[in-house]
Amino acid sequence: MPMHNGFLPREGFKGDTVLKIIRNTALNPKVLLPLVLLAKYTKKGENWAILHPLAYSRLKKLLVFGVIRWINNYFSRKILNNWVDDKYDWSREIVVVTGGAGGIGGQIVQLLAEKRIKVVVLDIQPLTYAASPDVYYFKCDITSPQTLAKVAREIRLTVGEPTVLINNAGVVQGRTVLDASERDIRFTFDVNTFAHYWTTKEFLPAMVRANHGMVVTVASIAAWVTVPNMVDYAASKAAAHAFHEGLTAELATRYGAPRVRTVLVNQGYTTTPLFQGYRNDSPFLMPALNPATVAESIVRQVLRGQSAQLVLPAFANTLAALAAMPHWYQLRLRRKGQNIMTDFRGRKVVEDVDKFYEEKEGGAEGAEEDGFGVGAGASTVLVEK
């Protein structure tokens, strides 16, 4: 599964393509500066500037905006990485991916494995692809701190100490606040939010001690805008977003680990089985994303070894400002999304949530004895070709 490197994304000519052209031309100092210098210091350029003073003025303004944008991006990148560099030896790094049995997570795992990077998959679902010897699959209920602790010990014994954690696992129920049961809501938060805490508490301490590593939080643009039938999902993703922000601050101020990187992913609607039936009402500006598009963006950032925020598609950056908008606009946008989930029939990670929690609660004593518990399996599986 080679990386996509074409000018047009997999989704075709969309709003992001227009933004890319603007960034690479009208707001690119590397393009604008030579033009301004030619207009100022060459005879033909001077003549053009005299004949077209308005165009020349706009060219200089674009150059100023482009330079400001470049400086802003430079300082943001440096601040996010605490002004310190770090090196990753990918022949020695170990990446943990939650929810890596399929979907976006599965694509991430396969892309990393193709580069001969050791990848550990934590999922309660079986793998949906043929994995290479560099992929280690552990059937694990990541909503259980006790189960996760046991599996983490097994990972350290059989694979090694993980240095990159990608919290990718996610679920969506697609029900209204009143229709969703207490366990529906609990399950959404257990997977989408609380599991981030449990996995981080297991694997971050070693990264802090080594002052080396990375935690990737896969949130969603739903963290910025909530629509009907997605209240619990959006709330859990907003909490995951806040988790990332707080963890980033703690790494710099509490743990003395400035080289431990954090990456936040705010992706839009992605065509995975999890969101089957989702209605996309803005296909040009907010196109449906191919899972490989999201996975490749994450993998590229991980391989850079730098902290960042990934927003896909790029136009979704405008949603981050929604809270500052007038209420008449905010409410109108949320109400406009009332038809998004009317035909929702996405795949359920756990078909019977009530049974899941009944077995979980009933098997608590057994979990303490065997170390794995409900949904974890009794062994660690090394997946080979």
Q: Which domain holds residue 46?
A: 15-80
319 DSSP assignment: G
Other Cβ atoms closer than 10 A to 23:
13
Catalogue the E-assigned strands of 38-158.
Answer: 94-98, 118-123, 135-139
Residue 229 has pLDDT above 60, yes or no: yes
Same domain, 193 and 223: yes
Say whether 56 is catalytic: no
Model pTM? 0.92
Q: What's the mean pLDDT in 195-223?
A: 98
Same domain, 70 and 131: no
Structure tokens belonging to residue 222: 């739903």
Question: How big is the chain, counted in residues?
Answer: 385
Domain assignment present for 370: no
Q: What's residue 319's pLDDT?
A: 94
Same domain, 124 and 49: no
For 233-260, the DSSP string reads HHHHHHHHHHHHHHHHHHHHHTS--TTE
Same domain, 202 and 254: yes
Domain assignment present for 212: yes
Same domain, 73 and 103: no
What type of residue sits at position 37? Answer: L
Domains in the chain, number:
2
Same domain, 305 and 246: yes
Same domain, 100 and 175: yes
Q: Which listed residue (233, 269, 278, 357) is catalytic?
A: 233
Residue that has been written with the tokens 């598009």 in this structure: 293
Q: What's residue 120's pLDDT?
A: 98
Which of 321, 334, 311 minimizes the C-alpha distance to 263?
A: 311
Q: What's residue 366's pLDDT?
A: 53
Q: For 111-137, how does the pLDDT look when each residue is reduced to its tens digit (9 = 90+)?
A: 999 999 999 999 999 999 999 999 999
Distance, CA of 122 to CA of 347 (rounded, Å): 18
List Cα–Cα distances, 179 to 183, 335, 342, 343, in angstroms. 11, 18, 14, 16
Q: For 314-368, how does the pLDDT look when each residue is reduced to its tens digit (9 = 90+)?
A: 999 999 999 999 999 999 999 999 999 999 999 888 989 999 999 888 876 554 4
Q: What's residue 268's pLDDT?
A: 96
Q: For 75-116, how does the pLDDT look when each residue is reduced to its tens digit (9 = 90+)?
A: 999 999 999 999 999 999 999 999 999 999 999 999 999 999
Question: Whole-number mean pLDDT of the chain?
Answer: 92
Which of 118, 104, 191, 105 minimizes the C-alpha distance to 156?
A: 118
Q: For 36-83, how does the pLDDT look when each residue is reduced to its tens digit (9 = 90+)?
A: 999 999 999 999 999 999 999 999 999 999 999 999 999 999 999 999
CATH number for the domain spanning 169: value is: 3.40.50.720
Query: Residues of the chain with pLDDT > 90: what percent?
Result: 88
Same domain, 164 and 48: no
Other Cβ atoms closer than 10 A to 30:
9
Q: pLDDT tier at 1 (50, 70, 90 boundaries)? A: low
